[in-house]
Amino acid sequence: MHKKLLIVFQCLFSLILTIVLIQGCSPKHYVRGKTDIKGIKKIAVLPFENFTADEAAGEKIRRIVIADLLSRGVETVEPGEVTRVLRDFKIKSLNVLKLSEIKDIGKTLGTDAVMSGAVEYYGMSKGVSVNYPEVTVNLRLIETASGAVLWSVRNTSGGPDFWTRHFGSEGITLSETAGDVVREAIRTLF
């Protein structure tokens, strides 16, 4: 009887641990209540803030986001056109957009929403005996008609996998890690 109880306890513990690990690995996100995301047909992806040592990290992640949105059937505005409109409106800082500026951008570009974001980390980290890629992004979708934040997500990925940690084998690239981070983040929206 004691052995059966121990086996049941071990199974329950394993199940609970698995659930906790799965929940802990998913991107942290917010979706505004009563929001019809399917109504968002066209998005302008703004240049992303870059808090990394890689000067091009913001633009690299922006391009991955645009490609992912397009692959999901969401129309996006050509990045050069977005940059031109921002310049025409003399917008100097994207992290403090006024409601009127968001509405003007949406009206001028014919978009339902703008996506803003930041790249917190983009690079190779050093472990004790291995190097591995790490990427952290924050993304927000803002409705142009109201200025309301419809969705926000923070996702991070990276670190050495089992094979890299224990056998020093080459893991996935920084570019692949960035693509995975963006796909997982946007999957919380669409």
Encode the chain (190 residues) as per-residue pLDDT tens digits. 656 655 655 545 444 434 433 344 567 866 767 767 778 899 999 999 999 999 999 999 999 999 999 999 999 999 999 999 999 999 888 878 889 999 999 999 999 999 999 999 999 887 666 778 899 999 999 999 999 999 999 999 866 555 555 555 566 789 999 999 999 999 988 8
Chain-centre distance of CA 187, in angstroms? 9
In DSSP terms, 76 is beta-bridged to 43
Report residue 73: phi and psi, to 5°: 85, 15
Round to whole Å and give the CA distance between 51 and 122. 9
CATH architecture type of domain 29-187: 3-Layer(aba) Sandwich (3.40)
Round to whole Å and give the CA distance between 147 and 30. 16
Model pTM above 0.85: no
Round to whole Å and give the CA distance between 122 and 29. 20
Round to whole Å and give the CA distance between 188 and 190. 6
Are 148 and 140 within 8 A, CB to CB?
Answer: no
Residue found by looking up tokens 């399917």 in the block:
38
How many Å is the Cα radius of gyration of the chain?
20
